[in-house]
Amino acid sequence: MKTLAFFDTKEYDKTYFEALKEKHGIHIRYFEDKLSAETVSLAEGADAVCVFVNDDINKAVIERLYQMGVRVIALRCAGYNNVDFKAAYGKIHVVRVPAYSPYAVAEYTMALLLAVNRKVHKSYIRTRDFNFSLNRLVGFDLHGKTVGIIGTGKIGQIFANICKGFGMHILAYDVYPNDSLGLNYVSLEELCEKADIISLHCPLTESTKHLINKNTLSKMKDGVYIVNTSRGALIDTEALLDAIRTRKVGGAALDVYEEETDIFFEDFSDSFIGDDTLSLLLSMPNVIVSSHQAFLTNEALENIADVTYENLDAFFAGETLKNEICYHCQKSGGHCSRKEKGRCF
């Protein structure tokens, strides 16, 4: 029986992975700690490791895992910006769950937009104090507004369909436009200039880090609303705060935060958070911050467990790794052998 070292474990993870482990013949050692250079020794004796979005799979971690005999890292998520693929290439295979539930994330994106626009978070708090005043709760119709969607992969596509149902006009930006979707693709500059609402659905790469910055914010409409359910570092948070203060940004709904690694998914309700930037965001009346929960549905969690086990089964059986990603997969024009050999190396 193969052993899996499972890092950054939450109760909901165990519920779905425990239900399927006998079927796949994998013994799991669960750790609440995130994988890092300080905790990698916990994987001693394991055949594989399973990690999530805020684990730090850097070069030192890769080297130590390789020394311990680990040959596969299973990401139970779609994003992979936390992995040093250059260090992993030729040593450790990296597999992921590319689409556990795009509907979950897209639907939550609309939920955040509706909440921040219609001040649902504020009215909820008021009525619990028996305050039924409607003062300062005015929002706007989504119908007829222009939404700019940055990133038109599966999540972006589904969010676009949801927006169509609201009668919204859609502008799209993607480095790789998909003409079959029937979306109105424009430049990033034009999207910023014309959109009433901007929603981020692209991966975090070197080229997309701080895609929303002082310059792009300056091109946006006064009072623009920004929603981010993708990766926190797509937005320069300090620039966003300045734009909120000057009312350039009318509202922001963020399910991710660029410095979330040591904060999100944990309970700090009885302690202090030493992050002044996040504290400022949370204090803004026109900002909603949630803790990276857009993916969190029963369907998504079941799919994550299913696909993670399938990825591991394929690896240990020597089969094609259809969900593998490597250094060459990410490099434009780079050669990856997966199509010929079924694996990246």
Choosing from 289, 307, 330, the residue where a domain stops is 289
**Do 113 and 243 belong together in one domain?**
yes
Which tens digits make up the pLDDT trace of 277-295?
999 999 999 999 999 999 9
**Do 239 and 333 belong together in one domain?**
no
Mean pLDDT of the chain: 95
Examine the residue annotation and report whether 292 is marked as an active-site residue of this protein. Answer: yes
Average pLDDT over residues 331-336: 65
Quote the pLDDT of residue 332. 54
Which tens digits make up the pLDDT trace of 96-118?
999 889 999 999 999 999 999 99
Q: Rounded to two decimals, what is the model's pTM?
A: 0.90
Residues 6 or more apart in contact with residue 273 via CB below 8 angstroms: 263, 279
Q: Which tokens sit at 262?
A: 């040591």
Q: How confident is the model at residue 26 (pLDDT cuts 50, 70, 90)?
A: very high
Choosing from 271, 289, 307, the residue where a domain stops is 289
**Do 27 and 174 belong together in one domain?**
no
**Do 197 and 280 belong together in one domain?**
yes
The three-point CA angle 31-36-41 to 5° equals 65
Amino acid at 73: I
User: Could you tell me the residue range of the domain that residue 208 belongs to?
Assistant: 102-289
Examine the residue annotation and report whether 143 is marked as an active-site residue of this protein. Answer: no
CATH of the domain at 122: 3.40.50.720
**Do 255 and 118 belong together in one domain?**
yes
Residues 6 or more apart in contact with residue 165 via CB below 8 angstroms: none
Domain count, the chain: 2
**Do 166 and 301 belong together in one domain?**
no
Would the pLDDT of 336 be above 90? no
Would the pLDDT of 334 be above 80? no
**Do 123 and 188 belong together in one domain?**
yes
- Phi, psi (rounded to 5 degrees) for 47: -90, -20
Would the pLDDT of 154 be above 70? yes
Would the pLDDT of 333 be above 60? no
Q: Which tokens sit at 187?
A: 């430049």
**Do 142 and 269 belong together in one domain?**
yes
Examine the residue annotation and report whether 231 is marked as an active-site residue of this protein. Answer: yes
**Do 301 and 152 belong together in one domain?**
no
**Do 80 and 106 belong together in one domain?**
no
**Residues 24, 260, 324, 343: which is the catalytic one?**
260
**Do 110 and 216 belong together in one domain?**
yes
**Do 224 and 310 belong together in one domain?**
no
Quote the pLDDT of residue 119. 98
Quote the pLDDT of residue 338. 74
Which tens digits make up the pLDDT trace of 158-199?
999 999 999 999 999 999 999 999 999 999 999 999 999 999
Choosing from 269, 289, 309, the residue where a domain stops is 289
**Residues 24, 76, 292, 343: which is the catalytic one?**
292
Q: CA-to-CA distance for 265 and 226, rounded, in angstroms?
A: 23
**Residues 231, 258, 324, 343: which is the catalytic one?**
231
